[in-house]
Amino acid sequence: MQKKAAVFWQSRNFLLLFLFLLSSCVAPSQTEIPIQPQINIPTAQIGHNKKIALVVEDARVGDQVVGRTAMGTNIKLSNDMLDNIKVEISKGLQESGFQPLTGNETSSTKLVVRILGIQYNHLDSAHVVWKVHTVATAVIEVVATSKNNTYKKVYRTDNLYANAWPSTKSDIDHINITIGDSLTKLLTDKQLIEFLAR
C-alpha cells in the first residue's frame, strides 16, 4: 500500500512539473489596446482656412509589443491607431483655423506626423505599498514642409501613474492620455503653427 502511494505521489509530482514547464513555454497572450487619444486646444483662426496635406505614419522599429497590462498580457495597439490619431490631429488643425486634407488632395504645405515610440512599463514596486507604478511614454515626430522650407521637431511625453487597483481599463486610459499629451504639445507648438500658417 505504501509503495502504491509513493508511486502515486511521484507520478503526481512529475505531472505537475510537466504542466509547469509546458505553461512556461507558451507565449504570453496579447491584449489589443484601442487607441483613441483626445486633445483639447483653444480655438484660434491662425490658419485662415489654409489647406494642409496631413500624413500620419507608424515609424516604430522592431517588436510592436508596447508593454504588459496589469494582468501580465502583452500590449499591442489597435490596427486603427493611425486613423484615429489622424482624426484627432485634423480636429486640432481645424481648431487653429486650418483645412486638413487627409485624402488624395495635395497642398504646397505638408504635415507628416510619425509615431516613433509608445511604451508602457511597470516599475519595481518592492518598496511601494498597495500601489503599482507605471510609466507611459509617447514619442512623436513632426516634419512640416512649405515652400521649400522644413520644420522638424520631436515631442516626448513620459507620464507616471500610481494605481491601487490596476486594471486593463486603467492601462488603456494611461496610454491614450499620454499619446494625447504628445499630440497636444504638437498642436500647441507656436513655432509649428506659425510655420504652417505662412
Residue 193 backbone zone (phi > 0: left; psi -120 to 50: alpha; other: beta) = alpha
- Cα–Cα separations (whole angstroms), residue 183 to 31, 37, 61, 140, 144: 24, 8, 20, 8, 15
**pLDDT value of residue 184:** 97
| Alpha carbons 37 and 178: distance in angstroms, whole number | 8
**Mean pLDDT of successive 10-residue stretches along the chain, which has 198 residues:** 48 47 53 91 90 95 80 87 96 96 85 96 64 90 95 97 83 95 97 96
Mind giving me the DSSP string for 144-161? EEETTEEEEEEEEEEEEE
The predicted structure's pLDDT at residue 20: 43
Is this structure's pTM higher than 0.85?
no
Domains and CATH numbers, the chain: 30-197 (3.30.160.150)
